[in-house]
Structure 1
Amino acid sequence: MKVVPLGDKLVVKRLESAERTAGGILLPDAARDKPQQGRVLSVGDGRLLPDGTRAALEFNEGDRVVFSNYSGAEVTIDDEKLLILNSDDVLAIVR
């Protein structure tokens, strides 16, 4: 199933967090931090401008992005955890 965000929102799948520390210690799931990077799965139409037109977003499907730690809304669709973010929550695109 494809999720299509509205307006200036985008759907992101978080990248996997590291399972081991630099010293080789295996971390349990509860001790891992949520990663702040993800892959863009789909993007909305863009931000609505006062004149009624839409400004295109800077993101494309497949881009790797960095976002704020507690931003967005986590949803589960088809047993897959996804994150729906506002375009303002994205801090950078990793190239």
Structure 2
Amino acid sequence: MFGCGISSAHAPRYHLHVLASVNSADDAGYRRFSADQSYFKMAASLRRFVPLFDRILVQRAEAITKTKGGLLIPEKSQIKVNTAKVVAVGAGLRSESGEVIPPVVAVGDEVMIPEFGGTKVELEGKEFFLYRDSDFLAKFAPE
């Protein structure tokens, strides 16, 4: 018995999906996700971090703080970034009939997140956020 009224015979099974690669700089006004040696250490931490039910772990895109010419952009002038990359996905939400409803997003998807909300999670010195599947505003279609 798990303490939440679910017997072990009907306990949900979870599969963790972890992002294997990341994108580099982008010209769309923000820096996406840079890969470095610490990324592989971070990926090991993500394998141990399993979002439950319909929760999704994302890494927010970082705002560009310098121009291509090397000038610093003041914080007030920086573009507000509300996009994120999905790095881990829970198994899904259970319906009343017991079926698992899989999340709409998958690992590696780029999503639009609300300006406020989400639960901040820090792994290996990097900031991540946990959202419910229904909290996402949009999913960007792959090119």
Cα offset for 1:6?
Answer: 0.3
Is 1:40 matched up with 2:86? yes
Distance 1:33 1:78 in 2: 26
Q: 1:7 aligns to what?
A: 53
Higher relative contact order (CA 8 A, sep 6+): 1
Aligned length, in residue pairs: 91
Higher helix share: 2
Equivalent runs, 1:1-95 vs 2, <5 Å: 1-2=45-46, 3-19=49-65, 26-28=73-75, 31=76, 32=78, 35-95=81-141
Calculate the TM-score normalised by the size of structure 2.
Answer: 0.58
Distance 1:39 1:81 in 2: 12
Distance 1:34 1:26 in 2: 13
| Structure number with larger C-alpha Rg | 2
Calculate the TM-score normalised by the size of structure 1.
Answer: 0.84
Distance 2:127 2:112 in 1: 17
Identify unmatched segments of 5+ residues in structure 2: 1-44
Higher strand share: 1
Amino acid at match of 1:27: P
In angstroms, what is the RMSD of aligned CA positions? Answer: 2.0
SS in 2 for 1:12: strand
Extract structure 1 runs of 4+ deviating beyond 3 A: 31-34
The percentage of counterpart residues that share the same residue type is 24
Identify unmatched segments of 5+ residues in structure 1: none
Deviations 1:22-57 (A, max 9, x none): xx76124xx456521000001001111001121011
Amino acid at match of 2:90: G
Cα offset for 1:71?
Answer: 1.8
